[in-house]
Amino acid sequence: MNRRLTLRLGMIAMLAAFASPVVFPQFASPSAGAAPGSAFSIPQDQLLQPDALNRLLREAGAEKPLVLQVGSHVLFAEAHIPGAEYAGQGSLPAGIQQLQNRVSALSRKKLIVLYCGCCPWNRCPNVGPAFAKLREIGFSNVKVLYLADNFGANWVEKGYAVEKGR
């Protein structure tokens, strides 16, 4: 009996941890608890894992997304995803305006992938506001690259292709 109780309690604890945005931020869904503009405000089904984006970019014939980096221009210049454009820092009004200017002429159905990678996901001040702005102005096909730690650890050190320069 004690063993069954222990097993049940263990399963409940595991389920709770699994659903926890702290332990598994990639499974976090937007909630009233997510601060507006935080990376956690981005719905889980809009997140894209690095290996999935890498496959998409390499896949012949697939619709290629417009990849926009919305973090630091200095870090972008050091290394960025091939073909990505720097679109302004998402945490600054000027950066949001730059992003808006970049996409203003695009079809609202265009597949856009945003990313930053400046710092750990739970600390990123840039992707949340950038995502929110694109959704606000009608873009319905926006994904955000989920970088748990930073661009270096989760993209470059995985051996995925990079480009340099501004």
Q: Which residues bind other proteins (CB under 8 A)?
A: 71-75, 77-79, 89, 91, 117-120, 123, 125-126, 149-153, 156-157, 164, 166
CB of 140 to other proteins, least distance (A): 28
Burial environment of residue 5 by CB neighbours within 10 A (0 to 12, 13 to 18, 19 or more): exposed
d(CA 19, CA 13): 10
Q: What phi and psi, each to the nearest 5 degrees, are found at residue 100?
A: -60, -40
CB of 156 to other proteins, least distance (A): 6
Helix (H, G, I), strand (E, B) or coil at 143: strand
What is the largest distance, in Å, between two alpha-carbon atoms of the chain? 66
CB of 17 to other proteins, least distance (A): 20
State which residue, 111 or 156, has the beta carbon closest to other proteins: 156
Residue in 125, 163, 160 with CA at minimum distance from that of residue 48: 160
State which residue, 41 or 150, has the beta carbon closest to other proteins: 150
State which residue, 66 or 92, has the beta carbon closest to other proteins: 92
CB of 2 to other proteins, least distance (A): 38
